[in-house]
Amino acid sequence: MAKVARPQQQTKPHATGAGQSSSVTLGVDTHADQHVAAALDQHGRLLGIHTIPTTPAGYADLLAWASAQGSIACVGIEGTGTYGAGLARWLQHRSLTVVEVDRPSRRLRAQRGKSDPIDAEAAARAVQGGTATGQPKAGDGPVEALRALRIARRSAIKARTQAINQLHALVLTAPDCLRARFRSLSPRALVAAAIRLRPPADARTPEAATKLALRSVARRYQALEAEIALLDQHLARLIEEAAPTLLAIKGVGTDTAGALLVAAGDNPDRLHSEAAFAHLCGVAPVPASSGKTQRYRLNRGGNRDANRALYLLAIGRLGWDERTRTYADKRTREGKSKPEIIRCLKRYIARELYPTLLKLVA
């Protein structure tokens, strides 16, 4: 395990002059075991570089060091949803302004090189220059609990799919007596039949080993089914308590609501407009015009889980909502393709759901 560096000041602070107080902008490059911070004064001069461990004591040391430089105006943190999540929450609980900073571009890294102090200074300059303005998720409420449970559920579903695929693969290559017995069964019937197998204690033959493997994988599938059902119960209860108005919208189930809530976070008011929410979900049209050709293309960025939720809503409404079908027919007559129509529908649905998400602010 890598040794955690002790808090240390690596660069001598810039003198501010007698009687003057600096307005400090912090930039933090985050890692698993240590964070590196850079402090700039109001004129953009580098005041110092400081390294801390990723512990509450380290966070307190960073705050004390930065406060000694002057009044802290803002803190730009790279990776507020990963390595910097703990520091971002700690600072927000102390009423400090925290801004989410993207990784430096390849062009900037090619020009300036790559090191933790350089990245920390770049984060501070991005905040000071106004190129980084995003507010990180609060991560301290029911939506954060939803996010954790959805991660566990997604993993369990992936493992369940892998288990049933392995069962089918074992049947495909099994000895003829087993293959003839199991090949025509549905997935659920295959799991039930495999669990009932009684392999001999000594699994040295292909038939005995295959029976043991089939029963083992089937039991795993059954355990994952129970795990997913339990997680669904917890998720349904959390979403009903956190967003009953969202669930009341026709077509919005617990999975769709959960994806949209996690995308917005515990503080959806950080999304200053419905256009910002659309960009977050990757449903805002991206200009792709050139010369006399004026067009837009699908957005491949944003939160893909939220994008999937809006896609399912759009497809569902094409099936049961007369207003949506009328709109789709109209755009088809105008020459729009089906993907373009669905893109427009997702954008309209995002606009419709945005006020409902804002009402969830505690």
SS3 string, 232-246, reads HHHHHHHHHHHCHHH
In this model, does residue 2 exceed pLDDT 50?
A: no
Q: Please state, in angstroms and rounded to a whole number, the distance separating the CA atoms of residues 191 and 196.
A: 9
Q: What is the pLDDT of residue 270?
A: 86
pLDDT of residue 361: 54
* pLDDT given for residue 145 in this prediction: 94
* Cα(41)–Cα(292) distance, integer angstroms: 47
Q: Is the pLDDT of residue 326 over 70?
A: yes
In the chain, where does DSSP find H-type helix? 56-69, 85-92, 106-112, 116-128, 142-172, 176-182, 187-195, 206-242, 244-247, 254-264, 274-281, 304-320, 322-333, 338-358
Query: Which band of pLDDT confidence, cut at 50, 70 and 90, is reported for residue 149?
Result: very high
Tokens of 210: 């295959």
What CA–CA distance (Å, rounded) separates 290 from 287? 9
- What's the whole-number mean pLDDT along residues 65-74? 93
- Of 51-55, 217-221, 358-362, least confident by mean pLDDT is 358-362
More confident residue, 285 or 247: 247
Taking Cα atoms as reference points, which of 129, 214, 133 lies closest to residue 178?
214
At residue 202, what are phi and psi to the nearest 5 degrees?
-100, 100
DSSP designation for 104:
P
Does the pLDDT of residue 167 top 80, yes or no? yes
Torsion of CA 276, 280, 281, 287, to 10 degrees: 70
Assess whether pLDDT exceeds 70 at residue 17.
no
Classified as helix, coil or strand, 271 is: coil
104 vs 127: which has the higher pLDDT: 127
More confident site: 70 or 19 = 70
Instruction: State residue 165 phi and psi, 5-degree precision.
Output: -65, -40
User: What value does the mean pLDDT take over residues 330-338?
Assistant: 92
Residue 18: the pLDDT is 42
Q: Domain 8-128 is classified in which CATH homologous superfamily?
A: YqgF/RNase H-like domain (3.30.420.140)
- Of 326, 304, 312, the closest CA to residue 252 belongs to 312
Decide if pLDDT at 7 tops 60: no
Q: Are strands 98-101 and 286-287 parallel, antiparallel or unpaired?
A: unpaired
The angle that helices 206-242 and 254-264 make with each other, rounded to 10 degrees, is 70
Over range 75-79, report the average pLDDT: 93
> Mean pLDDT: which of 197-201, 203-207, 260-264 is highest?
260-264
- CA 253 distance to own-chain centroid: 20
pLDDT band at 4 (very low <50, low <70, confident <90, very high): very low
pTM of the predicted structure, to 2 decimals: 0.82
> Does pLDDT of 99 surpass 80?
yes
User: Which two structure tokens, joined as six digits, stand for 102?
Assistant: 């993207």
Whether 251 contacts 317, CB under 8 Å: yes
Distance of CA 197 to the CA centre of its chain: 42
Residue in 10, 65, 73, 2 with CA at minimum distance from that of residue 31: 2
Q: Is the pLDDT of residue 305 over 50?
A: yes
Query: Is-contact 83 100, C-beta < 8 A?
Result: no
- What is the rounded CA–CA span in Å between residue 108 and residue 121? 12
* Residue 202 clears pLDDT 60, i.e. is over it: yes
Report d(CA 37, CA 75) in Å as an integer: 10
* Confidence label for 191 from pLDDT (cuts 50, 70 and 90): very high
Q: Are strands 34-40 and 46-53 parallel, antiparallel or unpaired?
A: antiparallel
In this prediction, residue 158 has a pLDDT band, given cuts at 50, 70 and 90, of: very high
Q: Share the mean pLDDT of the chain.
A: 89
